Amino acid sequence: MSRRPAIQTPAGQGGPEREGGSTPPGLVSFVGAGPGAPDLITLRGASRLASARAIVWASSLVPEALLAHASPDATVHDSASMTLEDVLEVYRAYPADHVVRLHSGDPSLYGAIQEQMDWCEANARPFEVVPGVSSVAAAAAAVGREITLPGVSQSLVITRLPSRTAASMPPAESLPALAATGASMAVLLSAARPAALQESLLSPPSAFGPDTPAAIVHRATWPDEQVVRTRLGDLASDLVSLGATTTTLVLVGDFLALGGSRSHLYSPLFAHAFRKRSAPGSTAGRPAGTTRARSVEESSSPDAHEAKSPPPKAPRDSRVGGSQ
C-alpha cells in the first residue's frame, strides 16, 4: 500500500486545491516546464508557479522566462549547482508552504523525481506531479512529422546512450538491442558523444542502416532552436558540426521521410462508437447517435433499403481522437 499523503481532489477541479483555491499546507509540486517556450507550460503548471512560496529550478535546462509565471514574492533556488540533499533542505525550510520543483520537459522522463517523491512519502509531505510537454513532442513538431505514421511507425522508444551514469541502464536496454526492433527512436542526453551514438545505433543487432533518416533537434521551441535533418551514416559528423552537447535530442526512423498511408480511423469506410460508415457515394461523416436517432436517420436516408439486407460489417474501433 502506498504511503503517499493523500491529496483530495474535488470532483471536476482536476487538482489538489481546496476551497478558496488554496493548496494543502506544505504541498510540493513537481511541475513539468515543457520543452522551453514559456507559453508551452500547462495552465496548471503556470498556476502552481504563481502560488508557490519557494521554487527550485535548473537554470541550465529551463529558460528563465518560465519564471515570469511565478509570484514576485517567491524565493527562487537554482538547482544547477545543488545536490539532492540541497534540494531536500529547501523542502524542509518550507514545511507549511507551497514549493514548486520546476523540471524541464515532463518530469516523468529523466526527471529524477522518484527519489524526491520517496522523500515526501517518508516525511509525510503531500506532493503532486504536474505533467509537462515533453521535448520529444516538441522535436516532432519542429521537424513537422507524425511519429506514429500509419504503415510506417506505430511504436516509439525513448532512451539514451549510457555514459557516466551507465550503472542506471539495464543490460537489456542497450541502444543496439532496442534498435533491433526497428521502432522509431528518440535518443536524449546523448549528443555529447556523437561517434559512440552513431556506432551504437548502427551496431548489430540494430535494424537501422546508414541511410535510415534521422533528425537532430537542439533546444526545441527555444528562440535559438536548431533542426538538422540527416541520416544515421552522417549523424556523428553533423552533431560535431552543430556543436551542441546539451538540450539536444536525436530522432531516428522512417517516419522522418515522406510516405505513409492515411489513417483508418478517419476513413469514410471506417466506423466506430461515435461515427457510422459514410453512405455509399459519400465521404461525409455520419454521427452514430442513440439507437433511436440511428433508426430515424436510417429510415429517412437514401440507403434505407440496406436495412432489409445489412451490408458487410465495417471495421469498428472504440478509439476516437487519434490516428492509427
What are the pLDDT digits (tens) for 139-198? 999 999 999 998 899 999 999 998 777 788 888 899 999 999 999 999 999 999 999 999
Number of domains making up the chain:
3
Buried b or exposed e, range 18-54, using 16+ CB within 10 angstroms: eeeeebbebbbbbbbbbbbbbebbbebbbbbbebbeb
For residue 72, what pLDDT band results from cuts at 50, 70 and 90?
very high
Output 261 or 185, whichever has higher pLDDT.
185
- In the structure, what pLDDT confidence band is assigned to residue 261 with cuts at 50, 70 and 90? confident
Return the SS3 of 16: coil
Mean pLDDT, range 248-269, rounded to an integer: 88
Both 153 and 79 in one domain: the answer is: no
Last residue of a domain, one of 113, 133, 153: 133
Which of 63, 252, 228, 75 minimizes the C-alpha distance to 176? 252
Over residues 265-286, the pLDDT tens digits come to 888 888 889 988 989 999 899 9
Lowest mean pLDDT among 40-54, 144-158, 280-294, 305-319: 305-319
Q: Between the CA of residue 7 and those of 22, 28, 51, 118, what are the distances in Å? A: 12, 11, 17, 16
Residues 173, 111, single domain; the answer is no
Q: Are residues 213 and 283 in the same domain?
A: no
Q: What is the mean pLDDT of the chain?
A: 86
Sheet holding 275-276, edge to edge: 286-287, 275-276, 271-272, 316-317
Q: Which domain holds residue 210?
A: 136-256
Residue 314 has pLDDT above 60, yes or no: no
**Choice between 264 and 39, residue whose per-residue pLDDT is larger:** 39
87 and 164: one domain?
no
